[in-house]
Structure 1
Amino acid sequence: MMRSTRRIINFSAFALLAIGSGCDGGGKPSVDSSMEEATVKGVVKFKGEPVTKGEIAFDPSNYQRKMEAARRVKIGPDGSYTLKTLVGDNRVSFAIPAMARDPQLQDLMIPYVVKRGENSFNIELPPSSNKP
């Protein structure tokens, strides 16, 4: 009986140590789990010309945030946009009439990392082979 009690105590101590080591509170949480918002703005161009109609969406969902809603905004007549989204990795998608006619661009998503504060992303479509 004493052996089984000792095993239970040892197991409990080990379990508490394992749980506690992951929650030290000293490190910053990953930005991908952050619920902090930041402002994103820029200009969207298609084949060198400002997009005058359409929508841009920043989707911060990931495995840590689960199903966070995409942040959507209409693109202004000068190609500009401004919105708030969550800090961290975002997948940017577009609903632009000119892109809808091109099957290769219909489901285009571009990854961007949104940082604290104000971010400026001028987006040229279709994207070059260089990473944004």
Structure 2
Amino acid sequence: MTHTAEQKRETARKHYNASLELCPARQLLEAISSKWVTLVMLALEDGQQRHSELRKRIPGASQKMLTSTLRSLERDGLVDRHVTVSVPVRTDYELTRRGRSLLKIIFEMKEWAEENMDDVAASRLNHDRHKLDFS
């Protein structure tokens, strides 16, 4: 029995289980949930940027970490790299359509964190105080 491409994708989707250690979906989830991926994606929201511009927008990101993150995002099809032959060579990065679709989710997480940070901070303080009381 032959299946359409959509049927094959649906069958594959049913077999992915991010709870399983070797599941490709789990590996992707681990990759896209990194702090640096989140910060790079947010920085690229405004459009194409050079490596040096991204470093300025993401305090604490080393050149090595930023390069590694950009390569990973490019490999996953979330970022495009554009090289302009000039002296010096110019390299720009921008989100792909797939990257923009993930950016929507990242913005929701960012908004949630900003809206809930005060309550989370209070919970952490209460937890730590309670833990000290029993030490």
TM-score (norm 2): 0.18
Higher strand share: 1
- Bigger radius of gyration among the two: 1
Higher RCO (CA 8 Å, separation ≥ 6 residues):
1
